[in-house]
Copies of this chain bind each other. A is one copy, B any other.
Amino acid sequence: MKRKFLGIDIGGTNIRGKIISEEGNTLGERKTLSDARMGISRLMENLAGLIEGFAGEGISAIGIGIPGTVDRASGTLVQAPNIANTRNFPFTEILSEKIGSATPVFIENDASCAALGEYRAGAGRGSNSIVMITLGTGFGGGIILDGRLWSGENGFAGEVGHMTINPSGPLCACGARGCIETYVSQVAIKRIVSEHAELSEKLAGTEESALPESLAELAREKDQAAISVWNGFGANLGVGISILVNILDVKTVVVGGGLSGAWELFIGKTLEEAERRCLGGMQRGLQVKRAALGDDAGVLGACYVAETGLGESC
């Protein structure tokens, strides 16, 4: 009998589920509210409810992408800054009890899932190794080397947002100064606009989450200050890419997340700076690609986590 894999992406607002066939075809999709801010118990209830909605589908394994640090081997959620009471939470054990099923459950970091999704079915298709950068509220990342997700020794690998690009730069939420996240993220855009009187005035009243798009519109209308912000954003992204490429020597960097919507406003400076700073320049055959799957990358990647997990546990 052919196998089916259920992938689940836990976001701040929604939990999304998708079933794929062995061939990678989507067989069904559902979503529900996550209520992640109301704590882990409520989240687990919602998650179990979503999974029960797929009952009778004959699922071989479940993969779950979680916004936090996970210990894959034991199925423990080590920490998740945006979900209350999650330190060292025995995630797969409790979920299996709740759904009363022996279907194997595998967990993974959500940014790693997105990287897997783009690697197998999106902009990274055909590559051996990729780094995926997700430009959202923060600056997230996932690393795939020679076809395998590199998660690190603690499951913390790919925290690329906390690469220092200026030791005396702005203070980051992590407590350090000058992490790339303080220059290239939604949080960064907010800071940069707030420090610029003219832009602050033009964008007054814009909600934080809408700020990058409004700033992009200004730039498309040829506002010089807005253009200059995106130029700086692009150049700093290029610095970050060059650091990753000098260390890892991958040929493909995929850039996704909400802020990649402003692609044409920053990518020129990104490539210019990356070329200047990558040893051996573009001789390396480096390609910086725009993510192709949007929000689907994470949930699809979670399906692959299910598939891979099952393969390794056989």
Is there contact, CB below 8 Å, between A248 and B284? Answer: no
Known contacts A151-B249, A152-B249, A247-B247; A166/B163 CB under 8 A: no
Q: Is the CB of B243 within 8 A of A153?
A: no
A160 pairs with B251, CB closer than 8 A: no
Q: When A150-B145, A154-B285, A284-B156 are in contact, do A163 and B247 touch as well, CB less than 8 Å?
A: yes
In the bound complex, CA of A128 to CA of B166 (Å) = 31
| A207–chain B nearest beta-carbon distance, Å | 28
User: Is there a chain B Cβ closer than 8 Å to A260's Cβ?
Assistant: no
Contact with B along A237-254 (1 / 0, CB 8 A): 001001110111111000
Measured between beta carbons, the chain B residues less than 8 angstroms from A145 are 145, 150
Q: Which of B151, B157, B239, B277 contacts A247 (CB 8 A)?
A: B157
User: A148: nearest residue on chain B (CB-CB)?
Assistant: B146
Contact B163 A246 (CB under 8 A): yes
* Given A164-B277, A246-B163, A128 contacting B153 (CB threshold 8 A): yes
A residues contacting the other copy or chain, number (CB 8 A): 46
Chain B residues lying within 8 Å of A10, measured Cβ to Cβ, are none
Chain B CB within 8 A of A174 CB: yes
Chain B contacts for A179, CB-based, 8 A: 277
CA distance A141 to B247 in the complex (A): 9
Are A159's CB and B247's CB within 8 A?
Answer: yes
* Nearest CB of B to A146, in Å: 8
**Bound state CA distance, A138 and B248, in angstroms?**
18
CB of B277 within 8 A of CB of A154, answer: no
**Residues of chain B within 8 A of A155, CB atoms compared:** 249
**A205 at the A/B interface (Cβ < 8 Å)?**
no
Given contacts A129-B153, A145-B150, A167-B165, contact A175 B276 (CB under 8 A): yes
Query: Is there an interface contact between B251 and A174, defined as CB atoms closer than 8 Å?
Result: no
A279-311 contacts to B, CB under 8 A, are 279-280, 284-285
Q: Is A154 a contact of B249 with CB atoms below 8 Å?
A: yes
Bound CA–CA A41/B277 (angstroms): 32
| A189 touches B (CB below 8 Å) | no
A249 proximity list for chain B (CB < 8 A): 151-159
Q: Which residues of B contact A157 (CB under 8 A)?
A: 247-249
